[in-house]
């Protein structure tokens, strides 16, 4: 039978709701990650907090006290990012008003202790530009750009256009609006549709190529993760190629990070993951992934520290693998040239994977769902951790709950 208890290497809240992971950071020998959190209930509410957890190895997580909570002018503490400048650390978050939480304000907080457990709220440093018809405004991402700091904020313009607005600062304190960093009309669909709003837009450089990663939102519906490859120059991002990174209904709101060795990666919110009865905790953080480029395709694979075999049972499979119920997560490496893979536990089917032209069809017989994932000829990595499935190919990612909740392949 599939284990419906908590996963072993995925972060979940002790109790309550979590969604977007925020600013996974290696700091003084420890990984810190923050996350959207609604304590005390298993459904989303606008009165979000910033939860906080730490880890030494990216797979054993300790939940810390809530870092930021509503109050002091904030009805909700929504997504943002963290920046470290020497001995100064600053959180940038979306402060929302419950009367109209589509339009946020960008506010700061600074730590009051070395462990980053207590934070003091600061000033509002950015609001929507007055000369734009901004209908949604949130999710600041702050990064170093040469001798200055940059901030992107996700926006919807005119009700029809997804955009990232660009700001600059010399010191993380004083910010200037510089203009629209990138934008795309919701009517554009070739080669991939990117919606009416880019939630959590982030820019980073990978193998000499500038990458924009974003979550696709439209009319309060959450879709998938898309990316643009191109060039960042003086606060403007020019996209040469659009692509889609995730499939299914689970992955959303990725957060960019660099690991202890400086390698670039993403960590995602996993939707539709919850405890057996759905009344204790809801939502999980994906395992951290590392990124690479294969031509114009963004490739994400589980971080090797997460799936090393002293904590995860590793399998190399051609057409069949039997899982052992030893309480650990399982990572399966499958060569799709074999055409089909059967995954069982105690003789009962858990997963079936079947290769078709350029795709892999994934079915969970016990859970009752099937989905199609874009794939290439490279190894498919299948991570099973209690109620969570994460699957990575050289062309995309897929995640789903391993129980009766349906998964689709939008």
Q: Is the peptide bond prior to 191 cis by the omega test (within 30 degrees of 0)?
A: yes
The pTM of this model reads 0.95
In order of start, what are the domains of the chain with their CATH numbers?
17-302 (2.115.10.20), 312-401 (no CATH)
User: Which 8-state DSSP code applies to residue 379?
Assistant: P
Tokens 């702050």, residue?
Answer: 142
Closest to 200 measured CA to CA, from 245, 257, 146, 141: 141
Question: Can you tell me the distance from the alpha carbon of 189 to that of 187, in angstroms, rounded to the nearest whole number?
Answer: 6
What are the pLDDT tens digits along the chain (410 aa)?
Answer: 344 578 999 999 999 999 999 999 999 999 999 999 999 999 999 999 999 999 999 999 999 999 999 999 999 999 999 999 999 999 999 999 999 999 999 999 999 999 999 999 999 999 999 999 999 999 999 999 999 999 999 999 999 999 999 999 999 999 999 999 999 999 999 999 999 999 999 999 999 999 999 999 999 999 999 999 999 999 999 999 999 999 999 999 999 999 999 999 999 999 989 998 889 999 999 999 999 999 999 999 999 999 988 879 999 988 999 998 767 899 999 998 888 999 998 888 999 999 988 899 999 987 889 999 999 989 999 999 999 999 999 999 999 999 744 444 44
Strands 312-317 and 289-294: unpaired
Question: Can you tell me the distance from the alpha carbon of 81 to that of 25, in angstroms, rounded to the nearest whole number?
Answer: 10
Closest to 93 measured CA to CA, from 197, 200, 12, 167: 200
Distance in angstroms between the alpha carbons of the first and the last residue of the chain = 28
Question: Can you tell me the distance from the alpha carbon of 279 to that of 390, in angstroms, rounded to the nearest whole number?
Answer: 23
Cα 150–chain centre separation: 21
Tokens 């690991």, residue?
Answer: 259
Q: Are 243 and 194 in contact (CB under 8 A)?
A: no
């Amino acid at each position: 039978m599939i284990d419906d208890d908590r996963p072993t290497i995925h972060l979940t809240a002790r109790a309550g709701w979590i969604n977007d992971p925020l600013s996974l950071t290696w700091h003084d020998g420890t990984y810190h990650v923050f996350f959207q959190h609604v304590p005390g209930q298993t459904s989303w509410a606008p009165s979000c907090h910033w939860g906080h957890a730490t880890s030494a190895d990216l797979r054993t997580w300790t939940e810390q006290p809530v870092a930021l909570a509503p109050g002091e002018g904030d009805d909700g503490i929504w997504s943002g990012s963290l920046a470290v400048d020497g001995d100064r650390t600053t959180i940038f978050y979306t402060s929302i008003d419950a009367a109209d939480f589509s339009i946020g304000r960008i506010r700061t907080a600074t730590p009051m202790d070395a462990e980053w457990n207590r934070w003091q709220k600061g000033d509002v440093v950015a609001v929507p530009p007055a000369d734009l018809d901004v209908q949604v405004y949130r999710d600041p991402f702050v990064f170093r750009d040469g001798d200055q700091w940059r901030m992107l904020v996700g926006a919807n313009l005119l009700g029809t256009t997804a955009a990232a607005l660009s700001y600059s600062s010399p010191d993380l304190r004083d910010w200037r609006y510089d203009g629209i960093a990138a934008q795309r009309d919701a009517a554009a669909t070739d080669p991939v549709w990117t919606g009416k709003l880019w939630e959590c837009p982030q820019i980073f450089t990978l193998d000499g190529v500038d990458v924009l990663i974003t979550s696709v939102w439209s009319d309060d519906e959450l879709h998938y993760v898309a990316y643009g490859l191109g060039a960042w120059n003086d606060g403007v991002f020019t996209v040469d190629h659009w692509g889609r990174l995730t499939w299914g209904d689970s992955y959303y709101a990725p957060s960019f990070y660099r690991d202890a060795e400086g390698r670039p990666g993403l960590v995602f919110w996993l939707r539709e993951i919850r405890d057996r009865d759905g009344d204790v905790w809801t939502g999980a953080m994906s395992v951290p992934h590392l990124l690479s480029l294969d031509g114009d395709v963004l490739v994400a694979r589980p971080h090797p520290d997460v799936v090393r075999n002293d904590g995860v049972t590793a399998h190399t499979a051609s057409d069949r693998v039997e899982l052992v119920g030893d309480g650990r997560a399982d990572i399966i490496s499958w060569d799709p040239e074999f055409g089909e893979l059967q995954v069982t536990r105690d003789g009962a089917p858990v997963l079936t994977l079947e290769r078709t032209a350029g795709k892999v069809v994934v079915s969970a017989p016990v859970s009752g769902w099937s989905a199609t994932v874009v794939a290439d000829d490279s190894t498919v990595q299948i991570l099973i951790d209690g109620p969570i499935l994460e699957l990575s190919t050289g062309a995309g990612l897929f995640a789903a709950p391993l129980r009766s909740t349906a998964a689709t392949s939008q």
